[in-house]
Amino acid sequence: MRIQTVSTEPFEGQQPGTSGLRKKVKVFQQPHYLANFVQAVFDSIGDFAGQTLVVGGDGRFFNREAIQMILKMAAANGFGRVLVGQGGILSTPAASCVIRKNKAFGGLILSASHNPAGPDEDFGIKYNIGNGGPAPEGVTEAVFAHTRNIEFYNIVDCADLDLDHVGSFELAGMQVEVIDPVSDYAELMESLFDFTAIRALLASGFTMKFDAMHAVTGPYAKAILEGCLGAPAGTVMNGEPKEDFGGGHPDPNLTYAHDLVEIMYGDDAPDFGAASDGDGDRNMILGNHFFVTPSDSLAVLAANATRVPGYAGGIAGVARSMPTSAAVDRVAASLGLDCYETPTGWKFFGNLMDAGRVTLCGEESFGTGSGHVREKDGLWAVLFWLNILADRKEPVADILVDHWKQFGRNYYSRHDYEGVDAAAAAAVLKRVRDQFSTLPGTELAGRMVSLCDDFSYTDPVDGSVSRNQGVRVLFEDGSRMIFRLSGTGTSGATIRIYLESYEADAGRHGLDAQVALADMIEAAASVSQLQPLTGRDKPTVIT
């Protein structure tokens, strides 16, 4: 087999976003486009000669072609071993698990997460470091710099490899091991949760549905929920991964997980419902006619963690992204735990977990996880909830009502305006920034504004600083209004407006969040002038 050195030229815009490089499939299909990015990664991560690389993806369209190319490039660039999921499949948390378990040098994960898949939709790639987590900004910036100067890449010239059967073979001196994508991950889950108690719950008449949204968690959920835990066949719906995710948008929220939402709000709704996204790292939790916000879910997991074997000794601390509600802060305060507020992006939790400062982390964008891997983990969150339900033997809604009684309720909602013209979106944020000096001390939505700023974060472990991480309007009573542009979209811009207000009075905990936040929603519209600047009069997604 011959190693080829292929001449190439840089492509514009190969800058990793919130979670790696995400573009339309058609962009990735341009000759040299993916190879340039992969070579730029290999040129940025230090000396990996003879080391192990983990490779896998969510199975979306272009996954197979991408993996063939990556394996041939890994061999040509001197990796000693590649672990690749059978059929090219690894959910994002499973990839993190395999990297950690095998002490790999790092991994390449192929996914555009919750974005739709297919020839005209999205693809993505990101590099994870040896702790199993997304590369920190120092690495992604180096990768971007290399993409701008690239002149050649290395690749083995050979026929496509058989990745559909578990086993191993050699490729130009590199060992390729095709592994079962589920088993390491399932074993890790069994080590954390009380499978006996969950089995008993599922055998007791308790009913549930899990929506895999035609994406990667299907095989994982079937093996664990229906296989190990004895949930009846059919508990996992949309469980066959498809290259186009069945034409859907595998984002587990009230808008896009409509099949599940209909069941959970219909007659004879099951006791528990959950969904995961394209690559298996997000989760949505539902009770019978009841939606648990991701921010509340994190708070409930933190408050109940010691009921679960993997966390029975207590948790070290918690972290949440800045736009996530402060519900978990209240739990942390009552347990005497540190609580960190990071920018949006799972990569910011890695250092805190590696340093042993936090055990549980979460984000409003339907991400929850812990130190068991270095990614958020959809199925892990579902099993955590099942373990709590098995222990408490109460309905999901009662657990939340009880939680709010103890800690108060952080009413919370996110309004997304997707596919907005990029210049108009920038103007909306500028409009709010222009009022930074005049808003504090004035009243908005019946509350006094205390501070306006661009959120910046200094990592307490390595001292690195990340600026411009969201525009904040903070109120004296703890309410918040945050404006941010998404870093994961692939067309136009997405404006996210995050709204939060705190209610201590249990008599007022039963409101719909949109009703409770109505005055904040109106104030956000007037401060940002979103409607006149973008022409949009309502959000595309409300969560």
Point out which residues bind ligand G16 (CB under 6 A). Answer: 18-19, 113-114, 281-282, 321, 344-346, 363, 365, 367, 486-488, 496
Minimum CB distance to ligand G16 smaller for 218 or for 287: 218
d(CA 440, CA 451): 5
Minimum CB distance to ligand G16 smaller for 287 or for 369: 369
Contacts of 511 (CB under 8 A, 6+ apart): 411
CB 133 within 8 A of CB 460: no
Three-class DSSP category at 41: helix
Minimum CB distance to ligand G16 smaller for 184 or for 418: 418
Minimum CB distance to ligand G16 smaller for 127 or for 346: 346
CA 416 to chain centre: 17
d(CA 312, CA 297): 18
Minimum CB distance to ligand G16 smaller for 17 or for 230: 17
Task: Quickly count helices (H) and strands (E) in the chain.
Answer: 18, 27
Structure tokens given for 385:
């909830």
For the CB of residue 495, give the shortest distance to ligand G16 in the complex, in Å. 10
- DSSP lists the bridge partners of residue 329 as none
Active site residue 113: yes
d(CA 168, CA 52): 14
CB 283 within 8 A of CB 314: no
Q: Which of these, 2, 28, 3, 1, lies nearest to 13 by C-alpha position?
A: 28
Taking 3-state DSSP, the helix, strand and coil percentages for the chain, each rounded to the nearest 5, stand at 35, 25, 40
Minimum CB distance to ligand G16 smaller for 64 or for 282: 282
The 10 Å Cβ neighbour count of residue 537 is 9
What single letter denotes the amino acid at residue 467? R
For the CB of residue 533, give the shortest distance to ligand G16 in the complex, in Å. 20
Pairing of strands 122-129, 167-171: unpaired
Minimum CB distance to ligand G16 smaller for 100 or for 126: 126
Structure tokens given for 325:
């509600």
For the CB of residue 345, give the shortest distance to ligand G16 in the complex, in Å. 4
The 10 Å Cβ neighbour count of residue 313 is 10
For the CB of residue 253, give the shortest distance to ligand G16 in the complex, in Å. 12
Minimum CB distance to ligand G16 smaller for 105 or for 346: 346
For the CB of residue 112, give the shortest distance to ligand G16 in the complex, in Å. 8
Rounded to a whole number of angstroms, the distance between the first and last alpha carbons of the chain is 52
CB 448 within 8 A of CB 479: no
* Element housing 98 (H / E): helix 92-101
- 339-342 contacts: CB < 8 A, separation 24 or more? 340/460, 341/457, 342/457
For the CB of residue 466, give the shortest distance to ligand G16 in the complex, in Å. 13
For the CB of residue 283, give the shortest distance to ligand G16 in the complex, in Å. 10
Q: Which of these, 376, 419, 381, 496, lies nearest to 115 by C-alpha position?
A: 419
Q: Which of 19, 44, 111, 113 is catalytic?
A: 113
For the CB of residue 414, give the shortest distance to ligand G16 in the complex, in Å. 9
CB 184 within 8 A of CB 100: no
Positions marked catalytic: 113
